[in-house]
Structure 1
């Protein structure tokens, strides 16, 4: 057998080995994509359930309007699943943006009474301004995304 035959055979073995390895790597990529899609779908299902729960709580006056709007807005920002086109979710962003400057948690407790009252009046005004629109959006969300 000639040297050319052995070189051709070695080249063929290398090509086959590389093809098998490429197939193995492609299979890993495909499996990771499938797993990522499954995890994304599960996340969206959890978020949809949480959004619906908060909306139902707001509809039953078990959650404050401002807090509920903020929570729903944040959840909607992370939700990438399908939505009904007639849903009005813009109101949650409006309330969120209008309250972004208000301190929370310990910072709220550290405010003077006058400052807290000022923020509370602002929140009361927002509830009057957007209350009906939020109630409609909450009713829609209570039926699912």
Structure 2
């Protein structure tokens, strides 16, 4: 084989090696970046979950100390449990949060409540207070249980 063909093949081989080395370097860099993004995402999700757990515990403590209306606490705890552990809403004693949500979901909130006639709001509030009174013991038991639940 002539010497010039050998040199062409050597140069071609070196070019292929260089291209493969660059490809490997780029892929390694991309994998490292992806790994860092995943780590940041996991850290953010863990922090968010920890904050939600803390919110559930604060709400539960507020119920135990009668610092919040039971209906409000049930709605908020139910919303948080939907993200943290939705299976708990089907278990006793936590089922009361779902039951209260279902009983209150037809009632207007926020701007819709402000736009509703005051006599209608009074009737709805009476219904809400009656629900709270009826389920007060179950709500307090569930609040105590959720406060000490290990998520």
- Give the TM-score, by structure 2 length: 0.81
- CA distance in 2 between partners of 1:18 and 1:100 (Å): 56
- Runs of 4+, deviation exceeding 4 Å: none
Report the CA distance shift for 1:37/1:7 in structure 2 as closer, same or farther (over 3 A).
Answer: same
Q: How far apart are residue 144 of structure 1 and its match?
A: 4.5
- 1:28 matched to 2:67? The reply is no
Match of 2:109 among 88, 104, 108: 104
- When Rg is computed on C-alpha atoms for both structures, the one with the higher figure is 2
What value does the CA root-mean-square deviation take over the aligned residues? 2.1
Q: How far apart are residue 8 of structure 1 and its match?
A: 1.1
- 1:132 matched to 2:137? The reply is yes
Query: Could you list the runs of 5+ residues in structure 2 that have no partner in the other structure?
Result: 1-5
| Per-residue CA distance 1:71-119 (angstroms, 9 max, x = gap) | 1112222336xx8xx7743321221122111112343234334312321
- CA distance in 2 between partners of 1:31 and 1:109 (Å): 47
Report the CA distance shift for 1:88/1:13 in structure 2 as closer, same or farther (over 3 A).
Answer: farther
Report the CA distance shift for 1:88/1:6 in structure 2 as closer, same or farther (over 3 A).
Answer: farther
- Give the TM-score, by structure 1 length: 0.84
The residue correspondences of 1:1-145 to structure 2 (distance < 5 A) are 1-79=6-84, 88-145=93-150
- CA distance in 1 between partners of 2:12 and 2:114 (Å): 80
Asked whether the 8 Å contact 1:52–1:144 carries over to 2, the reply is no
| Per-residue CA distance 1:46-92 (angstroms, 9 max, x = gap) | 11111101110011111000001111112222336xx8xx7743321
- CA distance in 2 between partners of 1:56 and 1:88 (Å): 16
Query: Could you list the runs of 5+ residues in structure 1 that have no partner in the other structure?
Result: none
More relative contact order in 1 or in 2 (CA 8 Å, sep 6+)?
1
